[in-house]
Structure 1
Amino acid sequence: MAAVDSCFHLVGFLYVLILTFSMQQGVAAARSFTIDYDKNTFLKDGQPFQYVSGSIHYSRVPYYYWQDRLQKMYAGGLNAIQTYVTWNTHNQEPGVFDFTGQNDIEHFLKLANDVGLAVILRLGPYVCGEWEYGGFPAWIIRKNASIITRSSDPGFIAPVDQWLSVLLPRIKPLLYVNGGPIIMVQVENEYGSYFACDYDYLRYLREKVLKYLGNDVVLFTTDGDGEGYLKCGTLESLYSTVDFGPGFNVSNVFAPMRKWEPKGPLVNSEYYTGWLDHWGSPHSHTPSATVTQYLDDLLGYGANVNMYMYEGGTNFGFMNGVNYPSFSPVPTSYDYDSPLTEAGDITEKYMDIRAVIAKHMKVPQVPIPPNTPKYAYGRVNMMLMSTVPNLLDKLTHHGPFVTRYPLTMEQVYQNYGFIYYRHVVKLDWHNAVLDVSAVRDRGYVLINSVPQGVVIRESSQTKLTITALTGQYLDILVENQGRINYGSGINNNTKGLIANVTINGLILKDWFIYPLNVSEKVLNNLDSAVQSKQSSPPKYSGVSQYITPSLFVGQIQMPNKTGFPQDTYLRTDGWFKGQAYVNGFNLGRYWPSAGPQLTLYVPKGALRPYPATNTLVLLELEYAPCSQTRNKIEVDYCFVEFVTTPVINATTVSLERREEWNRAGGFNWHDQH
């Protein structure tokens, strides 16, 4: 009898298990996201659906803050988010793929699903986004710098094919029909703004995506709001959408889209809540009233809207992009004047947008998560560790390469950062003209470690008058300031010295090339014996206001309290240009002499709790405000400060005012409010 009961219970358990599984399968089968062309709407599970979305780039937000930001977006009234997939963060070397930590896109998408947000995935492979090389990994031009990206060029298609073959199988389980959050997938990005107009390339991408994702997800394109953009950016079976910012007449702004999509939902895939910045230009600002006025119009007109950006985030490390022509690097901050700040804080614009959304649809009645706490760690005294020339062997992860003529950064297997070229002078030169027109992007010229000046790409400042004697070292430290991310200039993205260097027209031959690696491992292993324990930098030469590029080090005092570390901002007034590292984490570029950004965002994850040591390292390229005479008084001014308030909107200084700044003993910054 007991055996019969056991069998009965086993059969019952199996029946319940099968029934449950069948019900789950039925639920999954019921999930759908489609377009109803006749009713001009999206259908989610068969019901009309209007999305109000916001852009957030997982690559620009520390992964331990993803959930906080997504919850704030949900609480702000959004029912969807939009994000780019950044190929170059996942595939930094050929055949090597990373989907962990900051690159764990699957975790990011699952978090969005858990929070209750649908996802509009912008797959690329090109993303633009003011991101390094538009998202392409630098190694694709290592062997062939002449490939035409975003085209059917076999040299481009081969790495794209390999990348998508790895990425797309990871994406499929996260489609909405499979229980995930992804309702739409973008193919390419604003292709109508590119010169190639290669429909075969677009067809290849479409077929590749369909092969792996199938027909159960809406595939779409995004282009500027003009017929000229849509002509080359669209393709049959890809739903055409447009992008534009405030300032339109809602009754006719969608006319270009309607020419390509006579029926179907209206979509603005990038409604601009602010705008991007460039070094040396004023901070961009779009008033909240302007953003909300036109958002109200769009939602009232029944349009689907994605706000670009909702949180801009940060270009940590070397990942800022560059606009072109007129080579214009984007700062480290990608705040974008968004509803959520670079650090994810609530703004007036956030609350105003939330109120507008509430006029048109139900806003979740959930608490808005609080801002993350910030702490002012105060002043940190900076000591000179050593000059870059003195540390070449320690900073070079492979090399030096010994070559007849200069090689590019890509050719010596370096993707980002700094590269050092050395030539041993073979003839005496007096007041000779050094021509470094081939510099990409900014070169610091030294003779036996003494600075001679700076050469800058595509400017009148590519030649210097120098005196160099036989046997001396002629060195050029080159900074890669980021690769062009937009337009046809994206096909001119090799870095370092891309051609020969001459003196009085004579080509210089025989070079030692040092790819520099200022990473956490290298910084932690620098021998303390190299530290000079000085507060003043190397002396200026008689012909230059520049210092020898140098590393400075300081210690951050961490409170012995619970709840620490906390976020903070590094303020670099008085310093000129360089790279900042906290505990080896690359915060990004600082350039207060150009502005408008004066502070670098330091997320708490870069810091260590008490009693661990927290070390700040600055690689200063041009000028360090250390011990010097000011108004006949010797002062020690070699410090930085950690503060609670960001400054990304400072009045900018033209780079030509450098000497005036030096003569005056410093520039008094005035924040714009």
Structure 2
Amino acid sequence: MTEKMAATRRWIFLSCCIVCLLSACQLSQAQNRTFEIDYLGNTFVKDGKAFRYVSGSIHYMRVPKEYWRDRLEKMYAAGLDAIQFYIPWNYHEPEIGQYNFEGQRDFVQFIKLAQEVGLLVLIRAGPYICGEWEFGGFPAWLLKENPKMVLRKMDPTYIKYVDTWMDKLLPMLTPLMYENGGPILMVQIENEYGSFYTCDHDYMAHLRDKAREHLGPRALLYTTDGSGDGFLKCGTVPGAYVTVDFGNSFNPQKSFQPQRDYEPFGPLVNSEFYPGWLDHWGYPHSTVNLDVFSKALDLLLDYGANVNMYMFEGGTNFGFWNGANYAPYQAVPTSYDYDAPLTEAGDITDKYIAIRQVISKYKQLPSMPIPKNTTKTAYGKVEMSFMATVQDALATLCPKGPIKSQYPLTMEAIGQWQGFVLYRHTLLGDTPSEPKTLDLSGVRDRAYLMINQVPQGIFDRNGQKTMNITLKVNETIDILVENMGHIGFGSEMNNNSKGLIRNVTFGGSILTGWSIFPLTVENFKPSSLSGIYRDKPFRNGNLTTPSFYVGKLHVPKEPTDTFLDMSAWGKGQNLIMSSSMINVGRYWPYVGPQVRLYVPKPFLAPSPTINYIIMFELEQAPCDTADKCTVEFVDQALINATPHKPNFEREETKFSRKRISV
């Protein structure tokens, strides 16, 4: 053996020894890491020492991945010990058996990044999460598999899919548990189950046992429910520590009494304490007084409680994942963002400073400075041009063509989980000339009626559902239906089909023979249309055919955050296509309160790449003249306004529109 070979062997041996020693050291450290409950001491115990956490909620799916570190560092700089977040089932299993944990959906990387920043983690694993999220986190394909299944109980179909999901999810969390060297302190069982009508104790026990199977005997499990004995009666399960949630309270002892009724000893925990509250379409922006909140937080911490507060939601306008509950118009819940300690764009607010000051009374703050707010740029106006009506673009939006059916089918029945479906019927036979009632009582949630592409009116599940109209033989009836988001809480979650859920009648007779087009608006690209179909959309009064409008934004250098202002537009969705297609979110400025959409830096590309701004306008584009057909990128948010009223009647008013033919 040569000296070189001997040296190589010695190096390999030494390396193996070092690796073994490091592994043994890490194993020893992991074995010494404990997080437990000292019931007699009324406290958590971390690594043998009493521990109280102050935590903040942040949702990885609502924050661009490029900004995860920025937001986490700001939370750490506020003095927080931990973060708490949900894991939405539908975000990771959009189709049965098709899982996605990459990129924006890589929550494992998010957890590791939180640990790197210095934060511990509390996980709300579901399967139900609420969270102002589409269908409360449930995948809408559940409704196709068995429309009669009852959610959140030991329904055989439901449990089969829950078990498959949990068997996929929980093993990903196991190595990240605190006792295994990770940052996860606790994992929540279900979410506010005591507020749901099913009250199935076997179901909660099943979820507990499933979590214990994967996470091990040392994992600390917990439940969260409203602070009332009626909620805790159904929401708790033996083997999971009972916590409660409540808002501003100046009497912590009274607010925590329901928890004490179920946990006479142990740490006091408020798992959802609200600096702000969610908004609904058509209602004023919700706010929570800063002084009131600060005083309530101070009292909670002085009382020795563990607290998790909604620090930041962020990015809630992203595409269809904006969690709308139709009750009647629940918006993307951006009120958390603008009345919260951190805005949707991650900016520091007065409420952030106040929280930091309160926390500083009870623990030493990190020595790090508060990270700076990101730069915002007003890129100015972008000229928009009409490109195509929804009918013109059907081949692009629905490349596989329509589904033929005798009767209308729900969105779920055809595998369309979010977005839009166009239902088409051609009237056959003899039709009297006098008006008859067209009945769309089965619309879920909002529909646009067109005859030969000419708009006739708007139908809404909580507004107008019928219209008197004259139809002629061989006319094409198009009904574009928008899914405004599957209901995310309450018993109506079990009646959650979208599209047309009942037959359409005309003069009392059922219309049969339908072509159903499931639409993917992200398929629309300026280059996807082979030619110009027409100069402008069809119009009836001030209501225009749902159409696509396109403009070009040139960013001269490195992009920054910005806000898209479309105050003069009606209702629709905005998309931006640069290196990829991004569904930025819904807009509805005349209803409000949100008027401008947050556009993060990662959505834009610098020149020479063109940023195509795409507006899918459903009701009324301000494009009578070229100078008005614009959107504007500004450097300020606008969350509490209704900048204009539509020139057509609101859906609460019965339409009696003049019939216009092509």
**Which band: TM-score by shorter chain?**
over 0.9
Which of 283-292 and 594-603 deviates more? Answer: 283-292
Equivalent of residue 228 in structure 1, options 218, 223, 230: 230
Q: TM-score, normalised by structure 2?
A: 0.94
- Whole-angstrom CA distance in 2 between matches of 1:151 and 1:622: 41
Deviations 1:228-261 (A, max 9, x none): 1111000111101000111341232100000000
2:568 is equivalent to residue 574 of structure 1:
yes
Q: TM-score, normalised by structure 1?
A: 0.92
Deviations 1:165-204 (A, max 9, x none): 1111111111111111100100000000000001111111
- Whole-angstrom CA distance in 2 between matches of 1:306 and 1:492: 32
Name the counterpart of 2:220.
218
Residues 35, 518 of structure 1: alpha-carbon distance in 2 compared, 3 angstrom cutoff: same
The residue identity in structure 2 corresponding to 1:567 is D
Q: 1:586-665 counterparts in 2 under 5 A?
A: 586-627=583-624, 636-651=627-642, 658=649
Does the Cα contact within 8 Å between 2:279 and 2:286 map onto a contact in 1? yes
Does the Cα contact within 8 Å between 1:311 and 1:339 map onto a contact in 2? no
Equivalent of residue 438 in structure 1, options 432, 436, 442: 442
- Whole-angstrom CA distance in 1 between matches of 2:494 and 2:391: 32
Does the Cα contact within 8 Å between 1:567 and 1:602 map onto a contact in 2? yes
The residue identity in structure 1 corresponding to 2:483 is N
Does the Cα contact within 8 Å between 1:311 and 1:344 map onto a contact in 2? no
The residue identity in structure 1 corresponding to 2:573 is Q
* Cα offset, 1:328, TM superposition: 3.0
Residues 368, 472 of structure 1: alpha-carbon distance in 2 compared, 3 angstrom cutoff: same
* Cα offset, 1:216, TM superposition: 2.0
- Whole-angstrom CA distance in 2 between matches of 1:386 and 1:640: 18
Equivalent of residue 530 in structure 1, options 532, 550, 562: 532
Name the counterpart of 1:331.
332
Name the counterpart of 1:365.
367
- Whole-angstrom CA distance in 1 between matches of 2:254 and 2:442: 48
Which of 305-314 and 403-412 deviates more? Answer: 305-314
Deviations 1:119-151 (A, max 9, x none): 000000100011000001111111322211111
2:458 is equivalent to residue 447 of structure 1:
no
Deviations 1:470-507 (A, max 9, x none): 00001100000011001101111111000100001000
Residues 557, 15 of structure 1: alpha-carbon distance in 2 compared, 3 angstrom cutoff: closer
* Cα offset, 1:69, TM superposition: 0.4
Does the Cα contact within 8 Å between 1:435 and 1:463 map onto a contact in 2? yes
Q: Give the secondary structure class of the aligned counterpart of 1:310.
A: coil
2:491 is equivalent to residue 488 of structure 1:
yes
Runs of 4+ in 1 over 4 A off after TM superposition: 1-17, 651-660
Residues paired across the two proteins, number: 643
Q: 1:506-525 counterparts in 2 under 5 A?
A: 506-519=509-522, 521-523=523-525, 525=527
Does the Cα contact within 8 Å between 1:299 and 1:360 map onto a contact in 2? yes
Q: Give the secondary structure class of the aligned counterpart of 2:631.
A: strand
* Cα offset, 1:287, TM superposition: 2.1
Does the Cα contact within 8 Å between 2:250 and 2:299 map onto a contact in 1? no
Name the counterpart of 2:659.
none
CA-based RMSD: 2.1
Q: Give the secondary structure class of the aligned counterpart of 2:126.
A: coil
Percent identity, aligned pairs only, is 51
The residue identity in structure 1 corresponding to 2:640 is N
Q: 1:69-218 counterparts in 2 under 5 A?
A: 69-218=71-220
Name the counterpart of 1:476.
479
Does the Cα contact within 8 Å between 2:590 and 2:642 map onto a contact in 1? no
Residues 184, 531 of structure 1: alpha-carbon distance in 2 compared, 3 angstrom cutoff: farther
Residues 622, 10 of structure 1: alpha-carbon distance in 2 compared, 3 angstrom cutoff: closer
Q: Give the secondary structure class of the aligned counterpart of 1:21.
A: helix
Residues 441, 249 of structure 1: alpha-carbon distance in 2 compared, 3 angstrom cutoff: same
Unpaired runs of 5+ residues, structure 2, are: 652-662
Q: Give the secondary structure class of the aligned counterpart of 2:387.
A: strand
Name the counterpart of 2:303.
301
Deviations 1:450-472 (A, max 9, x none): 1110110033x100111111000
Residues 9, 402 of structure 1: alpha-carbon distance in 2 compared, 3 angstrom cutoff: closer
- Whole-angstrom CA distance in 1 between matches of 2:283 and 2:649: 16
Name the counterpart of 1:631.
none
Does the Cα contact within 8 Å between 1:332 and 1:590 map onto a contact in 2? no
Does the Cα contact within 8 Å between 2:406 and 2:512 map onto a contact in 1? yes
2:347 is equivalent to residue 345 of structure 1:
yes
Does the Cα contact within 8 Å between 1:316 and 1:332 map onto a contact in 2? no
- Whole-angstrom CA distance in 2 between matches of 1:619 and 1:45: 55
Q: Give the secondary structure class of the aligned counterpart of 1:389.
A: coil
Q: Give the secondary structure class of the aligned counterpart of 1:235.
A: coil
Does the Cα contact within 8 Å between 2:281 and 2:593 map onto a contact in 1? yes
The residue identity in structure 2 corresponding to 1:557 is H
Deviations 1:70-125 (A, max 9, x none): 01100110010000001111000000000001100100000001001000000001
Residues 140, 169 of structure 1: alpha-carbon distance in 2 compared, 3 angstrom cutoff: same
- Whole-angstrom CA distance in 1 between matches of 2:591 and 2:614: 21
Unpaired runs of 5+ residues, structure 1, are: 629-634, 661-673
The residue identity in structure 1 corresponding to 2:627 is D
- Whole-angstrom CA distance in 2 between matches of 1:575 and 1:313: 21
* Cα offset, 1:29, TM superposition: 0.8
The residue identity in structure 1 corresponding to 2:608 is P
Name the counterpart of 1:664.
none
The residue identity in structure 1 corresponding to 2:440 is V
Residues 296, 401 of structure 1: alpha-carbon distance in 2 compared, 3 angstrom cutoff: same
Q: 1:255-266 counterparts in 2 under 5 A?
A: 255-266=257-268
